Each structure stands twice: as C-alpha cells, then as structure tokens.
C-alpha cells in the first residue's frame, strides 16, 4: 500500500510505478505486438497488444487511480475514447448532451451514431430543471462537460449524477478541461469519465491520445470488450509519453491557473473586450458551483472582441501566441471557435449557445504571464480601427 494520498504524489507514483524487474524508475516502452506463450492456454497475462500491453496498462491503471475509478482505458485519441463509450448504447437509445459539448462529440453523434439509430438531444444542462424535463423513456445517458467549451459554462456535476441515478441512466463527463488534478467526476457520483489526453494530460502538444475511466466492474468489462473489439487503442510509445506528461500535470496546471487568472483580470478592464468568460472570475456563471466541485478554475478563457477591432488583424498580429486548434499545452494557443473548434456545430445552434463570430478562446500557457499580456496588448493596438 502506498503511504500518500494527495493527488500531486499520485500523478507521479499512481498506477504502476516503475519496473520491478529492473528497478527502472519509469515504466519501459513495451514495443511488442505479441507475447511468447509457455504452452497452450499458459501465458504471463498478455497475449496480443490490442488486448493488453504493459505500457498501456500502466497508463490505464494510472488514470483509474487519478480519477478514483474501477478501471481505465487508453485510446488513440479523445474521439476514439468517446466513440468507444458511445458504443455502449444501441439502436433506439437517446443521449442528452450539454449545449456546449465539444464539436467532435456533437459530430460523431450527429453524423455517425445517428446512422445506427442512436439519437441525441442538445440540452442546456447547466439548468437542472430543463435537464430533468428532457428525460424521456428513450434517454439512456447524459453526456456533459463542465466547464463546457468555449464559453466555459458550468454544470453541477453532483446534481446531474443524482438525476442520472434517479432515472437509472448513465452519466458521462468529458473531464478534458479540468483533468483529475482539479476535478474528479466519479467522486461526485458519475459513471464514466472521458478525456482527450492530447490536451492538459499530455501537456506538450506532441501527442494525440484519449482515456476513459468507469466506476463499476460491469462497465469495465463492457468497455474492455469494446476496446478489444473495435481496436482504437493507444500505442506503447504514446502511452509512455502520456505517463510522462501526467507526472508534471500538477505544477503545470498551477501555473496555467496563475497565468489565466492574471490575463482574465487584465482583459476584463480592457476596452477591446466586450465580454469575458473565465470560471475563476467571481462574476462568472456557476462560479460557486465550480468552486465547490473543483480545486481550481483551469487555464482556458474566452472573450468577445469589441467591434472596433478587426478580428483578422488581431489574430495576425500576435507574435508568440499561436493561432491553432487544441489546448492545454505549455505554450499559449489562441483560436476562433466559430470557424475552428466549433465549426461542425450548425450556425443557428452556435448563436444560441454563445459561440458568436467575435468570440476568441485562449489556452493560456505557462510562459511568463506579463509576456503573454504584452503579446495580446500589441495585437489589440495593431487591430484597432476605431
Ligand atoms: C480535444 C477534445 C476532444 C477530442 O480529443 P482528440 O484527442 O482531439 O480526439 C474531446 N473533448 C474535448 C473537451 C476536447 O477538448
């Protein structure tokens, strides 16, 4: 048994810690597809790497440990993880999704699972009364994000989990933005957590990966079957990279929060900013709920650029802050949700949920916070058209 209980230590020593055979402090990269068997029906726990690989298993036990779940699963991308989880459902089932759910999650439901008769309904899940009213006999799951991308709307996860239990349906949280360092939905009562490991967990914008964690043996068995059957697994080297990234998640996230809070406070006062969305600002929607279910507001913020500024010039004027999709890396990234990350969501829905044309999202990196602010300031100056 380990003698630590804090998440900071778990990030480094959780799951399978090092290699017992050699004393290596890191889990080796088992770059193998198959395993020599001692005889018919006799093996050392591994037969074929789609089914199981020691490096991937180290990562899977680590994420299960961090989220406080029964079992973890590693996939080739966040979308592969979400697709595997959605494969738990069947024709006729309906999934409720948050109105600001990740664009790719919307797209896979709308354009892929729809073909198999699994339907979805977009619901403003931050309003629990609306959520509960939308549950009918076909609804088999509620899939939420909190904070939800890109205007960082907050949903009360504990209450959603209670509603799920009351109606005997599964609750699923995409925990990509918060990570288990800040928020552990399974401890709040939900059944399944999914992650894009590409973002904060990997942390260096050098990897595409996905994870899922379940809260019961029954779900673990079903998801293991789906993972092995559909085969969207994470490779050994990428599993190693993700384990390596997770070790520094705590220190990185602390710095992301410090920087994001600073930038949010500064942007709030800026004449070029019409509205700002950051869960760390006391006036933000769901501030108290977010405070109660997380240990920090994270490193993502969005703002609406005032019409007096040219949005194209703004993006083109930035120097080291890169215009790019994705988030959660050490470097600051900026994006235009309506044409980039959320372009797959129809225009009318985008307008309804606040993804307007002048909305800008920043993944605040861990560079010096004054340098980040200076880069933004000079872009405001250059893009001003009065
Ligand atoms: C990026 C992202 C995903 C998809 O993950 P990939 O690794 O790109 O497949 C899912 N959910 C959220 C919230 C994301 O930001």
Grade residue 346 by pLDDT with cuts at 50, 70 and 90.
confident
Separation of CA 189 and ligand 1 centre (Å): 23
Q: Percent of the chain scored above 90 by pLDDT?
A: 92
Separation of CA 78 and ligand 1 centre (Å): 5
Catalytic residues: 50, 102, 174, 199
117 φ, ψ (degrees, to nearest 5): 80, 15
User: Are residues 105 and 143 in contact, defined by beta-carbon separation less than 8 angstroms?
Assistant: yes
Q: How far apart are CA 88 and CA 99, in angstroms?
A: 22
Strand order in the sheet with 139-145: 71-75, 210-214, 192-196, 170-174, 139-145, 94-98, 119-123
Q: Is the pLDDT of residue 293 over 60?
A: yes
What are the angstrom distances between the C-alpha of 377 and each of 198, 273, 303, 366?
A: 29, 11, 14, 18
Best CA proximity match to 314, nearest among 361, 356, 262: 361
Q: Report the 3 state secondary structure along the chain.
A: CCCCCCHHHHHHHCCCCCCCCCCCCCCCCCCCCECCCCECCECCCCCECCCCCHHHHHHHHHHHHHHCCCEEEEECCHHHHHHHHHCCCCCCCEEEEECCCCHHHHHHHHHHHHHHCCEEEEECCCCHHHHHHCCCCCEEEEEEECCECCCCECCCHHHHHHHHHHCCCEEEEECCCCHHHHCCHHHHCCCEEEEECCCCCCCCCCCCCEEEEECCHHHHHHHHHHHHHHCCECCHHHHHHHHHHHHCHHHHHHHHHHHHHHHHHHHHCCCCEEEEECCCCCCCCCHHHHHHHCCCCCCEEEEEECCCECHHHHHHHCCCCEECCCCCCCCCEEECCCCCCCCCCCHHHHHHCCCCCCEEEEECCCCCHHHHHHHHHHHHHHHECC
Grade residue 386 by pLDDT with cuts at 50, 70 and 90.
confident
Grade residue 99 by pLDDT with cuts at 50, 70 and 90.
confident
Q: Is 174 in the pocket of ligand 1 (CB under 6 A)?
A: yes
Q: Is the pLDDT of residue 1 over 60?
A: no
Q: Which residue is it, tokens 């899977």?
A: 60
Report pLDDT for 362.
Answer: 98
Q: Percent of the chain scored above 70 by pLDDT?
A: 99
Grade residue 109 by pLDDT with cuts at 50, 70 and 90.
very high
Q: 145-203, pLDDT tens digit by residue?
A: 999 988 999 999 999 999 999 999 999 999 999 999 999 999 999 999 999 999 999 99
User: Are residues 192 and 105 in contact, defined by beta-carbon separation less than 8 angstroms?
Assistant: no
Mean per-residue pLDDT of the chain: 96
Q: Is 318 in the pocket of ligand 1 (CB under 6 A)?
A: no
Report pLDDT for 164.
Answer: 98
Q: Is the pLDDT of residue 65 over 90?
A: yes
Report pLDDT for 2.
Answer: 67
Q: Which domains does the chain show, CATH number per domain?
A: 7-247 (3.40.640.10), 249-383 (3.90.1150.10)
Grade residue 3 by pLDDT with cuts at 50, 70 and 90.
confident
Q: Is the pLDDT of residue 94 over 80?
A: yes
Q: Is 156 in the pocket of ligand 1 (CB under 6 A)?
A: no
Q: Is the pLDDT of residue 96 over 60?
A: yes
Best CA proximity match to 210, nearest among 97, 71, 75, 110: 75
pTM: 0.96
Q: Is the pLDDT of residue 38 over 60?
A: yes
What are the angstrom distances between the C-alpha of 280 and each of 269, 271, 285?
A: 15, 20, 10
Q: 300-322, pLDDT tens digit by residue?
A: 999 999 999 999 999 999 999 99
Arithmetic mean of pLDDT, 125-139: 95
From 77, 199, 245, the mutation candidate for ligand 1 (largest count of ligand atoms within 8 A of CB) is: 199
Q: Which residue is it, tokens 């996905």?
A: 210
Bin 276: left if φ > 0, else alpha if -120 < ψ < 50, else beta.
beta
Q: Is 84 in the pocket of ligand 1 (CB under 6 A)?
A: no
Report pLDDT for 64.
Answer: 98
Arithmetic mean of pLDDT, 84-107: 95
Q: Is the pLDDT of residue 295 over 80?
A: yes
User: Are residues 173 and 152 in contact, defined by beta-carbon separation less than 8 angstroms?
Assistant: no
Q: 199-252, pLDDT tens digit by residue?
A: 999 999 999 999 999 999 999 999 999 999 999 999 999 999 999 999 999 999
Arithmetic mean of pLDDT, 270-282: 97
Which residue's CA lies nearest to atom 6 of ligand 1? 78
Q: Is the pLDDT of residue 330 over 70?
A: yes
**Tokens found for residue 189:** 């009562």
């Amino acid at each position: 048994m380990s003698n630590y209980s804090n998440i900071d230590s778990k990030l480094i020593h959780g799951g399978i810690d090092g290699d017992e055979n050699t004393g290596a402090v890191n889990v080796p990269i088992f770059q193998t597809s198959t395993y020599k068997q001692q005889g018919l029906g006799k093996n050392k726990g591994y037969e074929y790497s789609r089914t199981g690989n020691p490096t991937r298993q180290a990562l899977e036990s680590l994420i299960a440990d961090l989220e406080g779940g029964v079992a973890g699963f590693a996939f080739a991308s966040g979308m592969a993880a979400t697709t595997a989880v959605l494969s738990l459902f069947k024709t006729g089932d309906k999934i409720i999704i948050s109105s600001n759910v990740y664009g790719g999650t919307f797209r896979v439901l709308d354009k892929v699972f729809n073909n198999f008769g699994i339907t979805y309904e977009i619901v403003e899940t931050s309003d629990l009364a609306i959520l509960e009213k939308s549950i009918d006999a076909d609804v088999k799951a509620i899939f939420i994000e909190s904070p939800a991308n890109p205007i960082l709307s907050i949903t009360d996860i504990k209450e959603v989990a209670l509603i799920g239990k009351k109606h005997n349906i599964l609750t699923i949280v995409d925990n990509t933005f918060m990570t288990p360092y800040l928020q552990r939905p399974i401890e709040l009562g939900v059944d399944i957590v999914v992650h894009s490991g590409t973002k904060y967990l990997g942390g260096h914008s050098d990897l595409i990966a996905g994870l899922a964690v379940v809260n019961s043996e029954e779900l673990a068995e079903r998801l293991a079957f789906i993972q092995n059957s559909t085969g969207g697994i994470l490779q050994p080297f990428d599993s190693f990279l993700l384990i390596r990234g997770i070790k520094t998640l705590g220190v990185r996230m602390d710095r992301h929060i410090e920087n994001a809070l600073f930038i949010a406070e500064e942007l709030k006062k800026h004449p070029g900013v019409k509205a700002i969305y950051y869960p760390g600002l006391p006036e933000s929607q769901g501030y108290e709920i977010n405070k109660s279910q997380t240990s920090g507001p994270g490193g993502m913020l969005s703002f609406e650029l005032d019409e007096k500024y040219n949005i194209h010039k703004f993006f083109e004027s930035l120097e080291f802050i890169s215009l790019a999709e994705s988030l959660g890396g050490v470097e600051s990234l900026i994006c235009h949700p309506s044409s980039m990350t959320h372009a797959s969501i129809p225009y009318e829905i985008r307008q309804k949920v606040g993804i307007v044309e002048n909305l800008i999202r920043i993944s605040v990196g861990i560079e010096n916070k004054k340098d980040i602010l200076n880069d933004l300031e000079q872009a405001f100056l250059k893009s001003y058209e009065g």
